[in-house]
Structure 1
Amino acid sequence: MMHDVTVILAAGAGTRLGGHGKALLRLHGETLTARALRSAREAGTSPLLVLGHRAGPVRAALAQAPGWAEEDAVDCPDWERGLSASFRTGVHAAAQRGAERVAVVLVDQPGIGAAALQAVLAGHGPGRIARGLVAGSLTHPVVFELGAAQAAAALAVGDQGARPYLQAHAELVDAIDITGLAEAQDIDTPEDLTAWADSRPKC
């Protein structure tokens, strides 16, 4: 069985949320970070949370979460450089943990949970890159073999994350339809969060 690590990118400041940071937002009483960690575990992977903005308070909040372990998180010292810095930190830490495959998810997509992650992992083949597809649009999770994740991290700039590598190697990308298993909406504004809190079941 392959050792799969799910890298959860959660280092940003959440400027469109007034700088409060998405990692500390709560949905039905559970922080988005705790929800993402739970989903990664339920999918049978090892979670790896990449923190930056307000890392201390995020860790303090997670101390109350079931299954939380300090080794499940790593700090990105240069998180202000954008998503690429968090991605590089996560991939490097995943390699140190012996990952054979790296799944990448965003903490601000709470509608992408364990079932979607399992489906994309199951659809990933040797030498390929698998991406979630919801209602015809590519989204997360993105699953790489470790070497490909490291190559993608080396090309990452600014807030683009793995995008330059994915665009340069589009012929290697397999879209795995997770429509019905996931919703790809980002939590970018207070209105987004309110809509989610009002519409999602407690799960």
Structure 2
Amino acid sequence: MSTAQSQAGRLRWPSTPRPTARGVVLVGVVAFLLAYALLPLLTLKPAYGSDLTPPKVIADVPLRDAASGAPVSFSSARGRTLLVFFAYRRCPVVCPAILAKLARAYRQAGEPGGVRVSVVNVDPSDSPAEFARYVQRFHPAFQAWQADAPALARVASEFYLLVREGTTQPIDHTATVNVIDPQGRWRRLYSDSFLRTAEYAHDLRAFSYGRY
């Protein structure tokens, strides 16, 4: 037998280390904790409001950004979830109450980047700049949209809203929060102004994960 063959015969390949019982337990504990942490995200879904099935595709209506004057539309917001609310600056009680609640819920949900709140002015005669400042006092990320009278009539029709001259306040209008998914479909409706902040925040988190 040659020297090389003799040395090869003495070589031993390193054996694969066998997992110890302690290592197996540690891996199991880590896997359990990870699954426990992810479970709420995997099961998260909206729990409040009304599910609109089948969803309606919202038609494009030409609107303007109240702060910049730039044209905006529902299609220009595709790729993000929109919470669309209709309000006006002189609204005495309901509009500011719902906007304040949405702002608190948005912060409580962690201000998800894939979700935007867009507020459409139901008072075409109002100053767009003043309306934008009004909306952004609730949250600087909220978008203020302005519509002229014909556009407002069209967008109100899309969402089946009542908008008319008020009797006990300047304007009467339907105070619903409407959820539009990234494909421009109307997926959810909140008509209960008594919904709690935490309940809005829960559903905002679900929307940020694409659950409607």
Per the normalisation by structure 2, the TM-score is 0.33
Report which of the two structures shows the higher radius of gyration computed on alpha carbons. 2
Per the normalisation by structure 1, the TM-score is 0.34
Structure with larger RCO (C-alpha < 8 A, sep 6+): 2
